[in-house]
Chain A
Amino acid sequence: MNLLELRGVSVSFDGFLALNDLNLQLAPGELRAVIGPNGAGKTTFLDVITGKLKPTNGDVLFRGKSLVGQSEHHISRLGIGRKFQTPRVYENLTPRRNLELAVRGPHGPFDLLFGRLSSEQRDRVQHLLGVVGLESHAAQQSGGLSHGQKQWLEIAMLVAQDPELLLVDEPVAGLTDGETERTGELLRQLAGDHTVLVIEHDMDFIRDLQAPVTVLHEGHVLCEGSMDQVQNDPRVIEVYLGSETQEAP
């Protein structure tokens, strides 16, 4: 059974179709890249899955159950985590406290007031601080971190939630080459145990992921396949890669 399935999803903003009859399936453990020119509906597509937007038509199924109409926190608790396009960490809290908020466990107000973090959760936070190299910054406010560190902290927060499905929106925007490489490594490691969907503009990064690629255009799936197949598809060249080469000279 597919872990995630979008069936004929459309989203209309006053008549403008941000998503238009979108169909997509994700198998458990899969790593999938989604690309598409600006305005192709990539972020809207994540908004629909995570409950921020309600589709005008169609259905979103997670493990066979519909997500439509559920609130964001319910969907998150079902096991869908999201990393945002621009890093969104809590700047007035330290990286450690950011992770402690995100770490998997009960999230009600009384759980946080009266419950303590289990040693397992604390170990997990400590481990993740090490993975993203923020141990030495763990007690400093996150607002003072560099852009790359914030990106990594947010990825660590996503991993701390331990979701089944990770939706990762532009994880390497603004990162150095070295950081980009390490991010790709991390995402490949996560796939298998988790299902990972990456939205990215960086073609080299996607190629290095060696993942199947889905191309979105004007709100629906244009084609799917490996990076090489996709790059040689004339429709893709026309709407995406082609338009870039036209702009170049």
Chain B
Amino acid sequence: MADFASSLFSSRNLRRSLPWLVIVVAALVLPAVLPPFRLNLLGRFLSLGIVALGVDLIWGYTGMLSLGQGIFFALGGYALGMYLQLDSLEPGQLPEFFGLYGVKGLPAFWQPFSSPVFTLFAVWVIPALVAGLLGYLVFRNRIKGVYFSILTQAALLVFFNFFNGQQKLINGTNGLKTDTAHIFGILVGSDGMQRNLFWVTVVLVIGAWFLCRWLTTGRFGDALVAIRDDEPRLRFTGYNPTAYKTLVFAVAGALAGVSGALYTVQSGIVSPQFMAVPFSIEMVIWVAVGGRGTLIGAILGAVLINYAKSLISEQLPETWLFIQGGLFLLVVTALPDGLVGWWRQGGPGRLIAMVGLPQRSLTYPALDLDPEVQAEHSQFDTQGSESQGSKGGPR
């Protein structure tokens, strides 16, 4: 039995493909077996996987730790939320909350959101433009590292406070409710619509993954890794890192916007809480736990942590923050490449060995299980594919 288990874990192909198997099986089986409430949760967490992909792109690959992705996430959510508010109105009506603050006419910036086509673009173009502009100003002045992180967090707070204070424009703290709105005449909060939204989310997560994969595998991806590892060096080779960083930050912003829109319609409300400081930090934790520099790790991290959060919070509400903090510490100290990185480097096999069971070896066990030989192996394993961006490398 132990033999079987360890052969399962040491198979290199399985090591590569298992994270994918988990996702495909989850996507096909879970909608059939999960009750609507749980399926809706899964859909929400999958949509968070898209913002996590963006965080991975800018942090895991390009080395820019943004603590302000909540801005772009919320902008996408608000864009869709505004459309839904307007779409369910009779002609001449105003969204209900405007009455509370004595607003008589629709503010001008709401007007275009009555168009579904405009909204379809606004959801990702507006966050991308805001991210691109913010990024350009920061990167042009060569603000890097911890200063970049602080600046993004400061920007997040500015947006958070602004949205909180604008009752007359976007209903301030209360946000915009979407589950009582209608799309194509169907109630957004209904089980049928939520199931459709789940499928939309699955398709978009896969699409986002392919986009990020395309961005990270070719020479463009190499340039991102080069920026992360030695930006000044790249300048002397004739590259302008500002252009690369701005572009990739805008792409991450667009992904955050799509993610925020999907999250909004599946959770029923968009509010300034999307721009709360802890939420944007959590996004970073998902990527760190899942495996930064591995795209699949970002998605898995977002889904697993959020599912764990919801399950644990149901049972022991007050313990979750401690568990989350502990997880982060564990990853920082013991699994620097996250769960997926650990898995790919043969972590499970080592765990089996640790509890005293023999590892199955294809060649000479004395040689094959030598830690130094294994280190070489993992060095060769991590080449070629997306994991070349991982911090792994030879130690």
Contact = CB atoms under 8 A, between A and B. Distances in A.
B393 A143 contact: yes
Contacts of A90: 222, 225-226, 229-230, 233
A27 interface: no
Given A143-B393, A157-B237, A112 B220 contact: yes
A140 B391 CA distance: 15
A161 interface: yes
Interface in A60-87: 71-73, 76-77, 81-82, 84
B235 A93 contact: no
A81 B215 CA distance: 27
A112 B243 CA distance: 12
A117 interface: yes
Nearest to A106: B238
B222 A93 contact: yes
A161 B237 contact: yes
A182 interface: no
B388 interface: yes
Interface in B196-243: 215, 218-220, 222-223, 225-226, 229-230, 232-240, 243
B240 A73 contact: yes
A141 B393 contact: yes
Interface stretch (A94-102, A170-178, A185-193): A94-102
Contacts of A149: none
Interface string A108-122: 110011000100000
Contact of A101 (B226, B247, B379): B226
A92 B218 contact: no
Contact of A76 (B219, B230, B236, B389): B236
Contacts of A117: 219
A188 B141 CA distance: 40
Contacts, number: 96
Contacts of A109: 220, 223, 243-244, 247
Contacts of B225: 90, 92-93
Contacts of A100: 219, 222
B219 to A, nearest CB: 5
A71 B235 contact: yes
Nearest to A157: B237
A76 B380 contact: no
B57 to A, nearest CB: 13
B237 A102 contact: yes
B220 A76 contact: no
A157 B230 CA distance: 15
A76 to B, nearest CB: 4
Contacts of A88: 230, 233
A107 interface: yes
Interface in B223-276: 223, 225-226, 229-230, 232-240, 243-244, 247
Given A72-B235, A73-B238, A91-B229, A140 B383 contact: yes
Given A101-B226, A107-B238, A112-B218, A94 B394 contact: no
A81 B379 CA distance: 31
A143 B376 CA distance: 12
Nearest to A76: B238
Interface in B372-395: 379-380, 382-384, 388-394
Interface string B283-300: 000000000000000000
Nearest to A79: B238
Contacts of A223: none
A81 B237 CA distance: 7
B236 A72 contact: yes
Given A112-B219, A117-B219, A144-B379, A77 B393 contact: no
A214 interface: no
Contacts of B383: 94, 139-141
**Residue among B218, B219, B240, B382 with the highest chain A CB neighbour number at 10 A:** B219
A50 interface: yes
Contact of A73 (B220, B235, B384): B235
Given A109-B247, A140-B379, A92 B229 contact: yes
Nearest to A108: B243
A127 B382 CA distance: 26
B241 to A, nearest CB: 8
Contact of A84 (B226, B233, B238, B392): B233
B237 A101 contact: yes
A143 B394 CA distance: 7
Contact of B391 (A72, A81, A92): A92
A105 to B, nearest CB: 9
Contacts of A112: 218-220, 223
Interface of A: 50, 52, 71-73, 76-77, 81-82, 84, 88, 90-94, 97, 100-102, 107-109, 112-113, 117, 139-141, 143-144, 157, 161
26 contacts: A73-B236, A76-B236, A76-B237, A81-B236, A82-B236, A84-B233, A88-B230, A88-B233, A90-B233, A92-B388, A92-B391, A93-B222, A94-B383, A97-B222, A101-B219, A101-B222, A101-B234, A101-B239, A107-B237, A107-B240, A109-B223, A113-B215, A140-B383, A143-B393, A144-B393, A157-B237
Given A92-B388, A112-B219, 4 more contacts: A90-B233, A91-B393, A109-B244, A144-B379
Interface of B: 215, 218-220, 222-223, 225-226, 229-230, 232-240, 243-244, 247, 379-380, 382-384, 388-394
- 5 pairs of A and B residues whose beta carbons are closest in the complex: A76-B238, A72-B235, A112-B220, A144-B394, A112-B219
